[in-house]
Amino acid sequence: MVNCVGQMLEKIVDGLESGKELAKDELAALLLSDDLAGTDYLKKRARYVADCIYGKDIYIRGLIEFTSYCRNNCFYCGIRCGNQNAQRYRLSKEQIMTCCEYGYTLGFRTFVLQGGEDAYYTEEKICSIVYGIKSRFQDCAVTLSIGEKSRENYQAYYHAGADRYLLRHETANQEHYERLHPKELRLENRKKCLYDLKEIGYQVGAGFMVGSPFQTLDTIYEDLQFIRELEPHMVGIGPFIPHKDTPFAGTRAGTLEMTLRLLSIIRLMNPRVLLPATTALGTIHPMGRELGIEAGANVVMPNLSPVDVRKKYQLYDNKLCTGDEAAESLHNLKKRMADIGYRIVIDRGDFRRE
Ligand code: 5AD
């Protein structure tokens, strides 16, 4: 017998795929439905769309978490400045270069420099690191993920050679933003940063956590609207996972299923987007990575930080940093991707305009 609920989801998915804007009740149907055939259809169509643009290629990024110092006190984050238990470290330019050397031999052609908002790394220092990497590895892309800076800073990093910038918007809803961040942090400024970055010429990544405290269907709807408006080249989404030394200790984590459905929706809304199956997704489920790829993701970001600092970059409890999460286990990751029919490629993995 034909399943009408399933057919309803199929209709919504077909609409999304043809570029139709998603209505709020349609989003609700996609996210809340327990119709497995329908949600399976959602994931399959999203994967099909990703295949049409990126084929079976999976891009890798070497993630270098170069500072765990942060001036901000975001309620969800384990490296918030108020966390006295967090272990702090900084990597020198030489240490960062060594990570890149090693990463290059493994096949990485994108290095992501991520860190807290740490004033120790002045504009000059960041530019020197970026320039150092770009001169040594001319066939590589450098992505920065170091938070909110001035337009002049962003311009200078770009001039030094930075290609991409990741700055999750975290939530596009004002009240929700205020419930996740201390009052010094303004959604308006975050959005402005993203638009500045885009105007300067970066490939830009926005994104949010799935299942963060106080998130609702309405806030997610606004996230999707914001993404539609910004048209980022990358979208980073992963489940929220509580950290024991934050105000959100003891709250519930986001779910695998909700994250997968949102990955699919974002892929369908923005077929060319670079979409990582994030570390957080790998942390909440042993097959999170694979399931993310199968739901439309096309990027993975193994950890390339020096082994002795990895445990200190604890954004949330039990964050993976070893095993197949680690760059040195790339052969395992390759095998895992091959097992589901995908191949990790040696490529910068740029956004494909056409
Ligand atoms: N759970 C999941 N993701 C988190 N991030 C920060 N804290 C957490 C957490 N507790 C994410 C934020 C940030 C990115 C670097 O890590 O979305 O932008």
DSSP class per residue in 21-35:
PPPHHHHHHHHH---
pLDDT greater than 80 at residue 325: no
Rounded average pLDDT over 335-346? 97
| pLDDT the model gives residue 1 | 43
Strand-pair category, 343-344 with 299-300 = unpaired
**What confidence category does residue 354 fall into, taking pLDDT thresholds of 50, 70 and 90?**
confident
C-alpha 86 – ligand 1 centre gap (Å): 15
Name, in order, each residue with C-beta under 8 angstroms of 286's C-beta and a sequence gap of 6 or more: none
Q: Residue 277 is which amino acid?
A: A
What's the pLDDT band for 253 if we cut at 50, 70, 90? very high
Give the bridge partners for 210, in sequence order.
Answer: 239
> Nearest-CA neighbor of 238 among 194, 286, 276, 295?
276
Average pLDDT of the segment spanning 290-309:
96
Q: What is the mean pLDDT of the chain?
A: 96
Nearest CA to ligand 1 atom 16: 315
Question: What's the rounded mean pLDDT across residues 213-241?
Answer: 98
What average pLDDT does range 230-248 have in this prediction? 98
Ligand 1 centre distance from Cα of residue 209 (Å): 7
How large a percentage of the chain has pLDDT more than 90?
Answer: 94
The whole-number pLDDT of residue 121 equals 98
Give distance in angstroms: CA of 2 to centre of ligand 1. 41
* pLDDT tens-place string over residues 140-170: 999 999 999 999 999 999 999 999 999 999 9
- What does the alpha-carbon distance between residue 260 and residue 308 come to, in Å, rounded to a whole number? 32
- Is the distance from the beta carbon of residue 167 to the nearest atom of ligand 1 less than 6 Å? no
The answer to whether the CB of 243 is under 6 A from ligand 1 is yes
- Sheet (strand 343-344) strand order: 299-300, 57-60, 343-344
Contacts of 31 (CB under 8 A, 6+ apart): 217, 220, 258, 261, 262
Average pLDDT, integer, range 276-294: 96
pLDDT level of residue 324 (50, 70, 90 thresholds): confident
More confident residue, 320 or 172: 172
Is the pLDDT assigned to residue 46 strictly greater than 80? yes
Q: Is the CB of 237 under 6 A from ligand 1?
A: no
**With a threshold of 0.85, does the pTM exceed it?**
yes
For 75-119, write each residue's pLDDT tens digit: 999 999 999 999 999 999 999 999 999 999 999 999 999 999 999
